[in-house]
Amino acid sequence: MSKTNQPKEGFKFFESNNFSEDQVKDRSAEFFHEMNSRRSIREFSPREIPEGVLENIVKTASTAPSGAHKQPWFFALITSPEMKKKVREAAEKEEYENYHGRMSDDWLKDLEKFDTNWQKPFLEIAPALIVVFKETYEETESGKAKNYYVNESVGIAAGMLIAAIHHAGLVTLTHTPSPLNFLAELLNRPKNEKPFLLLPVGFPADKTQVPVLKRKNFIQIAKYY
Ligand code: IYR
């Protein structure tokens, strides 16, 4: 093999999938179709999540790109009824304040169509809660090391987590009982981690309903230049 066929130091050749144009077209359409059936779900079945699934979806999330490949995320997987109860109680305390004064009238009006309130029984019923943490900096042996584009990185990982949950055939809700700090305390996480999102995960309750919503169409969200 000649030298030019060797990757440079520290690199390897990328293994392209080499799909045909038709395959690329079909795959893009099929994936859109699949993702377009995703909905945020607020009523869960207590049905258990099959073994290995939480690991697979978290590992999928962790394939996300991140600033300087620092992977500034941590996923707390809560499955014990005791911890779920504690999370529910603390979340409901924050949500009670949110719905009774902390959210503006405009905000409450925007939420009317979702028929939500401060009560969050799904936090105990769903078989798993995933708390996504962002690592604002890295704690190394030689001290604090900087992470880059933390919100962007963790936001992308959270999106991939939601896609993986949906692809597996499970449902979730992107839940933000702000302020979220009670989660760091309850789970005893280190100082460099801040809670980012709380996602109940599981199968949907029988006959659960979702609001009739319309997604923006292509010309509302994109333009060719
Ligand atoms: N966190 C509250 C309120 C809420 C806020 C937004 I923005 C929503 O899209 C939905 C709900 C709750 O979860 O009820």
- Under 8 Å between Cβ of 206 and 51: no
pTM of the model: 0.96
Ligand 1: which residue has its CA nearest to atom 6?
A: 111
pLDDT of residue 2: 54
Length of the chain: 225
Ligand 1 centre distance from Cα of residue 90 (Å): 16
Looking at ligand 1, which atom is closest to the CA of residue 118? 14
The predicted structure's pLDDT at residue 3:
57
Residues of the chain with pLDDT under 70: 1-3
What is the 6 CA–ligand 1 centroid distance (Å)?
53
Question: How many angstroms separate the CA atoms of 22 and 26, rounded?
Answer: 6
In the chain the domains, ranked by start, together with CATH numbers, are 43-205 (3.40.109.10)
Q: Which residues of 15-40 are buried (b: 16+ CB within 10 A; e: fewer)?
A: eeeeeeeeeeeeeeeeeeeeeeeeee
Most ligand 1 atoms within 8 A of CB, residue of 98, 110, 115, 172 to mutate: 98
C-alpha 75: how far from chain center: 10
pLDDT in tens, 163-207: 999 999 999 999 999 999 999 999 999 999 999 999 999 999 999
